[in-house]
Amino acid sequence: MTVAELFDQAAQYYDGTRRQLLPCFDDLYGTALRLLPADLNRPLRILDIGAGTGLFSALIAARYPQADLTLIDLAPDMLAKAAERLQPYGERTHIQQLDMTKVRDLGSFDLIVSALAIHHIDDVHKQQLFHDIATMLPSGGRFIHIEQILGPTPAIEQQYESIWLEKVRATGIRNEDLVAAQERMRHDQTVPLASQLAWLAEAGLQEVNCWYQWYRFVVYSGDKA
């Protein structure tokens, strides 16, 4: 089963388990939102890569009434949920089924965001995507990334896993939801944080920085000079 099929299979209940599977949910998304421009009325063009059910985009659309958002993902059932969620924002949102390796064809955006999606592609395509993002951003543009990372050593990765399992089980998550999440995570192609920050810098972005980390979950950004 492909990654897109796995996420389509989870579309009906995916949002309901977000906070259980992300014990750091509020800090993770809260940090990402604080990296957005201070002017809430700025007419931004925003691209959400691997948008899934539109969670991140909806948080942004609610804060920026003049923003125009494009959401792309490969999983049609997840995008159907995104369409429902973003219906209140009407013509300001555009939803498209598209492989994230093809985003360069979409043109320029003031802000490019992604949440827990890019780790689904291999390292060669990750690096190419970072180069594409750098090309698509205008001067002063920013890329904001919420991501799941690989521990820098096997021992640290094992600690990330055990702490995550402990915290997730403490939420009272149903066993079948945890098993389904673990099955999806078997397809992840995670990379250590240091490698990703280096790739962004190599792609030409500046002020590259990690702003938040909770074990295997991070928020980082890079700016176009």
Identify the pLDDT of residue 16: 75
Tokens matching residue 177: 């939801």
**Residue found by looking up tokens 């999983």 in the block:** 75
Alpha helix ranges (H) inside the chain: 3-9, 18-21, 25-34, 55-63, 76-85, 123-136, 154-170, 175-185, 193-202
| pLDDT for residue 80 is more than 50 | yes
CA-closest candidate to residue 210, choices 201, 222, 199: 222
Tokens matching residue 140: 């002063």
* Domain layout of the chain by residue ranges: 3-223
**Residue found by looking up tokens 């009434």 in the block:** 65
Tokens matching residue 197: 């920050």
What counts of helices (H) and strands (E) characterise the chain?
A: 9, 7
* Phi/psi of residue 142, nearest 5 degrees: -140, 145
pLDDT tens per residue across span 27-63: 999 999 999 999 999 999 999 999 999 999 999 999 9
Question: 47 - beta bridge partners?
Answer: 70, 112
123 or 14, which is more confident: 123
3-223 CATH choice from 3.40.50.300, 3.40.50.150, 3.40.50.720, 3.30.70.20: 3.40.50.150
Identify the pLDDT of residue 90: 87
pLDDT band at 14 (very low <50, low <70, confident <90, very high): low
pLDDT tens per residue across span 176-194: 999 999 998 999 999 999 9
